[in-house]
């Protein structure tokens, strides 16, 4: 089931306000040891939190900082869902994200810039 199919189901659930769906899976390798959840499906949100042009904590204007918030949420989901606990869904409340029609495909780095492929 895709994230886009699940989104309307959660939007119509009583008592839930702004909703996005993040569908995680595990990835091993990359830059380090161990497995980390990352977003492979997404609906209702922009996958990034874009800080370019904004001042950081030292008042320096950020030029390239875009946080992959969809991957951050997917990684955190493992902490509450567990690999072997058979918990199919995690609800992350209070997550700051930009509502939108983003796709997890946007998180895939172009081959020429990817150090791990």
Confidence of residue 6 (pLDDT cuts 50, 70, 90): confident
Range of the domain at 108: 3-113
pLDDT at 48 over 90: yes
Tell me the CATH number at 44: 3.30.1330.100
Q: Is the model's pLDDT at 77 over the cut of 70?
A: yes
Q: Tell me the average pLDDT across 58-70.
A: 96
- Total domains in the chain come to 1
If pLDDT is split at 50, 70 and 90, which confidence band does 99 have?
A: very high
Which pTM was predicted? 0.81
Reported for 105-114, long-range contacts at CB under 8 A and 24+ positions apart, including other chains, are 106/47, 106/48, 107/38, 107/39, 107/47, 107/68, 107/70, 107/71
- Do residues 107 and 46 lie in contact, with contact meaning Cβ atoms separated by under 8 Å? no
């Amino acid at each position: 089931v895709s994230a886009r199919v699940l989104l309307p189901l959660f939007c119509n659930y009583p008592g839930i306000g702004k909703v996005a769906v993040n569908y995680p899976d595990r990835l091993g390798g990359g830059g380090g040891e161990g497995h980390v959840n990352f977003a492979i499906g997404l609906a209702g949100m922009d996958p990034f939190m874009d800080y370019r042009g904004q001042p950081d904590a030292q008042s320096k204007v950020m030029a390239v900082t875009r946080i992959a918030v969809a991957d951050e949420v997917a990684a955190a989901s493992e902490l509450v869902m567990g690999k072997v606990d058979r918990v199919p869904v995690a609800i992350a409340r209070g997550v700051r994200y930009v509502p939108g029609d983003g796709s997890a495909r946007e998180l895939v780095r172009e081959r020429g810039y990817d150090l791990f492929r």
